[in-house]
């Protein structure tokens, strides 16, 4: 029977044991939201786990939800993450990235130009985030429209390509921590989901067997 300390595989990754270190938001970046030596040391000290999932890293400036969380959308940030990954791998560990967009779990003071946060709903979440003023209520978001979604998808794609340059083997994605629970409860986006399904549902045959029938 396999033991938790036995070597194993996860896809194409060879792991020294079955232990996975969950991500932990630590708010420790340097200026420009760049991963630093302290973060590299933190992850290196935990390289004995079979696999480390990195703390969440936002895919764009808009995706930031808390003060001083690391980004993965420019060259300086990727250089910082490369130091983290190299340190872990030199210690015999494996690390994968958690790409993140905090959605409505954010505050306008963390957003570019103080713009509204974004979410599938314009309803403010019940919760707090951490800013230069300490813990504050999250802001009321802007409800995303369908034509805005490709921009966010492109941000994830861009960040994923940069993470490969940062020597991370794989990526996992998160929007508001969970998909989509932290961003918006299911009951709040059901109406929009139904509307999207109606827009994209193929036409049904009419009762007479010819042409398309409406709903």
Please, what are the averages of pLDDT over each run of 10 residues along the chain (215 residues)? 87 90 92 97 95 93 97 95 93 91 96 96 95 97 94 93 69 46 47 47 47 37
**Nearest-5° angle of CA 79, CA 119, CA 102?**
30
Quote the pLDDT of residue 167: 64
Quote the pLDDT of residue 213: 38
Quote the pLDDT of residue 2: 78
CATH code reported for the domain at 8-185:
3.20.20.70
Q: Closest Cα to residue 110, out of 153, 159, 73, 58?
A: 58
Quote the pLDDT of residue 12: 83
State the pTM of this model: 0.77
Boundaries of every domain in the chain: 8-185
58: part of which helix (H) or strand (E)? strand 57-58
**Helix intervals (H) in the chain:** 37-44, 75-90, 149-165, 186-200
Which tokens in the block code for residue 70?
């690391």
Q: Closest Cα to residue 42, out of 26, 66, 58?
A: 26
Quote the pLDDT of residue 65: 96
Question: Contact at 8 Å (CB) between 121 and 189?
Answer: yes
């Amino acid at each position: 029977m396999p033991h938790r300390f036995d070597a194993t595989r996860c896809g194409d990754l060879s792991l020294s044991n079955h232990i996975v270190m969950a991500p932990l938001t630590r708010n420790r970046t340097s200026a420009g939201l760049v991963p630093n030596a302290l973060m590299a040391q933190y992850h290196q000290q935990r390289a004995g786990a079979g696999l480390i999932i990195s703390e969440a890293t936002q895919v764009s400036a808009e995706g930031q939800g808390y003060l001083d969380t690391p980004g993965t959308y420019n060259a300086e940030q990727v250089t910082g993450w490369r130091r983290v990954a190299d340190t872990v791998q030199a210690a015999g560990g494996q690390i994968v990235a958690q790409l993140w967009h905090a959605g409505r779990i954010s505050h306008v003071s963390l957003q570019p130009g103080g713009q509204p946060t974004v979410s599938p709903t314009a309803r403010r979440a019940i919760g707090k985030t951490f800013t230069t003023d300490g813990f504050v209520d999250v802001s009321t978001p802007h409800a995303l429209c369908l034509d805005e979604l490709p921009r966010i998808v492109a941000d994830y794609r861009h960040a994923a390509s940069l993470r490969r340059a940062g020597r991370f083997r794989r990526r996992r994605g998160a929007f508001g921590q969970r998909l989509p629970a932290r961003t918006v409860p299911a009951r709040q986006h059901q109406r929009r989901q139904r509307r999207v399904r109606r827009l994209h549902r193929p036409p049904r045959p009419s009762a007479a067997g010819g042409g398309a029938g409406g709903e």
